[in-house]
Chains A and B, each alone.
Chain A
Amino acid sequence: MDRRDFLKSTAMTAATLAASRLAYGQAAGPTPPVATGAGGGVKWNKAPCRFCGTGCHVQVGVEGGKVVAIAGDPKAEVNKGLLCVKGYHVGLALYGSDRLTQPLLRKGDKQVPISWDEALDVIASRIQKDPKGFALYGSGQWTIPEGYAASKLVKGGLGSNQLDANARLCMSSAVTGFLATYGVDEPAGCYDDLDACDVLIMWGNNPAEMHPVLFSRVIDRRSRGEKVTLIDIGTRRTRTSAFCDHVLRFKPNTDLAIACGIAHLLVENGTWDKAFVDANCAFRAPSEPATLQGKAITFDEYRALLAPYTPEHVEKLSGVSQQDLRMLAGLFGRQDVRITSLWCMGVNQHTRGTAMNSLIHGLHLLSGHFGKPGDAPTSLTGQPSACGTVREVGTLAHALPGGRVVAEEKHRHQMEDLWNVPPGRISSKPGYHTVQMWERFSTPTDQGGDIHTLWVQVTNPAQTLPNRHKLVDPSRKLADKFLIVSDAYPTETTRIADLVLPSAMWVEKNGMVGNSERRTQQWFKMVAPPGQARDDAWQLIAVAHRLFERGFEGMKDKDGRFLFEVKKDGKPVPIWDFQHYYDVNVDAHLFEEYRKTTRLKHKDLAPYEEYVKARGLRWPVVQQPDGGWRETRFRFSGFDDPYVQEGRDIDFYHSPTHDGRAQIWFNPYEPPPESPDTEFPFWLCTGRVIEHWHSGTMTMRIPQLQRAMPSAYLEMNRADARRLGVGNGDIVTVETRRGSLDLPVWLGGRGEPPEGSLFVPFFDERLLINELTLDAHDPFSKQPDYKKCAARVRGRAKKEARG
């Protein structure tokens, strides 16, 4: 068989098995379409996709030291052999023509090549100058070992908590919603719910574009003749809307009123699940002063707080009809259907994000639609390891690994023991959350700007932070502020950096990530990175060792050993020297150390080798009497979760009230911080498109994706366009109180904003919409609201649209 025949037969096997999965919901046989191992010169191995938080597994075909083919992994439960348009092009993300291949140091107006040795010296000197003024800003694209190394470096080594991550911008309201409701982060359900639900409600969510593989699981069920009712509750029409049985448009920020309205009807109609609530829940409302814990209330008080949210009142606030509100309440009130809710950025990027997250959980708890397959409130993540790294490792300013927090003395001592550092090394004072961190970096030192050096890894904040003019640009004019950026490609952030470090990416390094459904995934390095590009974890460890060489106390443990010491055959391996970094599996070493922290919150992880064998495992992964390891699909449910007390159907064993109960919250509707007015008459919403992932750093370098969606645009309603006198392709100026941007108009595109509202995607570095967005944020999660601010549009003739 020659190479062509081999590839063709492999391709047909893959297609046939995928067809079988679509037709029957499962593969006809166990044979994978692409066997791991050599064949026709192409060697295949598994890896999770590099892009979103779904956690699809791909098979990566490597030949001649290069990734040459990508296949959906038929053994992967998440995607069952299928991929989205980004996924099947993921291999090309490595091969953009402008990869960063050597460290660059700004000298005057230029960034000039320097050696890694010099780069490490520069960073070490900046840290030594004032360790507490050094901050690290990471990412939900950090692998688990990378995030763990970052936490150990900053919290265990520097004794500060100036570590935060871009997941603050996408997931932190989900975290605070989970904490306020269950006392512990992350979803109880999993993707299996999508295969079992009768009703799927998408709250401000567009999975047809943002999580297409998950969405196709539901659409495929329909193709097989199953009945699944899809409901889209959002502020604009999207690709998802086209598949839905019910499309409900609401006025921005009024989703809280809708949730309260449904709860009101459940209570008043007596269709709430009294038995479930009596056994498993308690009621809660905001306290004064406001805290994440709020205050306990009785059912009668809850009912009274909901009383104003009559269908008539909610219709007036939200624009959703009384009939649709009654339809939703009717579904939640039925016990013969299974309901899954999905949400992502629409609910999270919200100045009331924590409150709205809690309300959705509350609807499921109040109605008893919880804990059975298909009955689940499930928040989705946008990044491949927002959960695994940022939320579980805890690369946030207040957090420590394994669900610990710096404010708890016991938690600090546990980590000091594990890291073998002196008591008191870990600071009890939380660092700055993302918006604060960048504000401090952009404020002159003598005016309180106490962050002097900021190291960014695996993210592009100059494009993705809101209100860039305020949070980013001022720092570039302050002589004593120093920006370090590690990335694979030139970005908006590398261009303004003082020091640029070239990074290895995806299968150019070992890695582990954790997806939206608590699934921890692993892969091995398959190809070499270009030039001098190096692993992000190596960069952190090498800087730590440079400080150690200089005698910096923080990089020594209590016994004087290097904080990141790794031994092989009893002898330390010089992993800080990149030539020796792969003499051992540093990822496995860091993961095994981190794994010890995961039991506290019952997020138990299996040994590294178990993940090598699997396409991911969902925690808690608990060892069985026969020595095997069992994952958990339905957390808190007695039939599946080993930590549920025997004899109980449901057990919220991390309850905020320590009594096994989850909290059903009342949170009132409140107006947004900025609303359209006569001067700025439109709502402006930002987001993603199916072809591009986040800031487009990778996908805009994949020719097929770049061609499919070459530039950002402004979507607006046809009626508004007519009033403004603009048509498809016309360039208009969008303005907010923070900035302006010229964009081409797209009418009748894939999305359709209602009259008076606009949508602009944020993937295009040439058209930076985040120069216009609002940096107002949720009081608990500190997550900014990218989904609504006031804007106006001017046509070329300088006409102004008045809504």
Chain B
Amino acid sequence: MTFSSLVLTLEDSAEQRAGVLALLERDARITLGTPLEERWLPVVTETATPEEGESLADFLRELPGVRFLDVVMVDFSGGEC
């Protein structure tokens, strides 16, 4: 099991932000924190492998409504080394 801490910087549009939140809430691999100023969203991903975590981060980065993705922490104890 691999955890990653991410921060998503969301777009200005309230509609786009709501869309992103609704999508993320449906993904069991993702735990959402409390958005700050409605724009900076703490996220923890929990995936079977680091590769899956990497793919998930790439997916989030490209989502409409996500302006920027910062990675804060990566745990790779469960994956390839």
Mark A residues whose CB is within 8 Å of B.
4, 7-8, 10-12, 14-16, 18-20, 22-24, 33-34, 42, 59, 61, 63, 66, 68-72, 81-83, 85, 88-89, 91-92, 95, 216, 219, 223, 703-704
* Smallest CB separation, A538 vs chain B (Å): 25
Does the CB pair B39–A23 fall under 8 Å?
A: yes
Q: Can you spell out 17 A-B residue pairs with CB atoms less than 8 angstroms apart?
A: A4-B1, A7-B75, A11-B72, A14-B5, A15-B5, A15-B73, A18-B72, A19-B35, A19-B36, A23-B39, A66-B81, A69-B77, A71-B73, A82-B70, A83-B71, A89-B74, A216-B70
Q: Could you tell me the distance between the alpha carbons of A42 and B78 in the complex, rounded to whole angstroms?
A: 13
Chain A residues contacting B5 (CB-CB under 8 Å) are: 11-12, 14-15, 18, 33, 71
Chain A residues contacting B27 (CB-CB under 8 Å) are: none
Other than the given A69-B73, A72-B72, 5 more pairs (CB < 8 A) read A11-B44, A15-B73, A23-B39, A23-B40, A89-B76
- Contacting residue for A88 out of B7, B73, B77, CB 8 A: B73
Q: Could you tell me the distance between the alpha carbons of A70 and B41 in the complex, rounded to whole angstroms?
A: 20
Does the CB pair B76–A16 fall under 8 Å?
A: no
- Contacting residue for B42 out of A12, A42, A66, CB 8 A: A12
Given A8-B31, A22-B70, A704-B54, also A15-B75 (CB < 8 A): no
Does the CB pair A16–B33 fall under 8 Å?
A: yes
Chain A residues contacting B9 (CB-CB under 8 Å) are: 22, 223
Does the CB pair B46–A8 fall under 8 Å?
A: yes
* Smallest CB separation, A318 vs chain B (Å): 33
For the residues of A in contact with B, the DSSP-based class is helix
Instruction: Report the count of interface residues on B (CB-CB < 8 A).
Output: 35
Does the CB pair A19–B42 fall under 8 Å?
A: yes
- Contacting residue for B75 out of A11, A24, A95, A216, CB 8 A: A11
Does the CB pair A704–B51 fall under 8 Å?
A: yes
- Contacting residue for B73 out of A4, A11, A19, A219, CB 8 A: A11
Instruction: Choose among B41, B44, B67, B70 the residue with the greatest number of A CB atoms under 10 Å from its CB.
Output: B70
Chain A residues contacting B46 (CB-CB under 8 Å) are: 8
Chain A residues contacting B36 (CB-CB under 8 Å) are: 19-20, 22-24
Does the CB pair B67–A223 fall under 8 Å?
A: yes
- The residue on A at minimum CB distance from B39 is A23
Sort A-B residue pairs by CB-CB distance and give the 8 closest, nearest first: A68-B77, A15-B42, A71-B73, A69-B75, A15-B5, A23-B36, A19-B40, A95-B81
* Smallest CB separation, B30 vs chain A (Å): 11
Chain A residues contacting B35 (CB-CB under 8 Å) are: 19
Q: Could you tell me the distance between the alpha carbons of A95 and B31 in the complex, rounded to whole angstroms?
A: 29
The yes or no answer to B65 lying at the interface (CB within 8 A) is no
Q: Could you tell me the distance between the alpha carbons of A81 and B41 in the complex, rounded to whole angstroms?
A: 15
Q: Could you tell me the distance between the alpha carbons of A219 and B9 in the complex, rounded to whole angstroms?
A: 11
The yes or no answer to B37 lying at the interface (CB within 8 A) is yes
- Contacting residue for A68 out of B7, B72, B76, B80, CB 8 A: B76
Q: Could you tell me the distance between the alpha carbons of A306 and B74 in the complex, rounded to whole angstroms?
A: 53
- The residue on B at minimum CB distance from A72 is B72
Chain A residues contacting B6 (CB-CB under 8 Å) are: 15
Q: Could you tell me the distance between the alpha carbons of A19 and B34 in the complex, rounded to whole angstroms?
A: 10
Chain A residues contacting B50 (CB-CB under 8 Å) are: 703-704
Chain A residues contacting B76 (CB-CB under 8 Å) are: 68-70, 89, 91-92
- Contacting residue for B74 out of A24, A88, A703, CB 8 A: A88
- Contacting residue for A81 out of B72, B74, B75, B77, CB 8 A: B72
Q: Could you tell me the distance between the alpha carbons of A20 and B33 in the complex, rounded to whole angstroms?
A: 11
Does the CB pair B68–A11 fall under 8 Å?
A: no
Q: Could you tell me the distance between the alpha carbons of A92 and B43 in the complex, rounded to whole angstroms?
A: 23
Chain B residues contacting A22 (CB-CB under 8 Å) are: 7, 9, 36, 40, 70
- The residue on A at minimum CB distance from B80 is A703
Q: Could you tell me the distance between the alpha carbons of A95 and B77 in the complex, rounded to whole angstroms?
A: 12
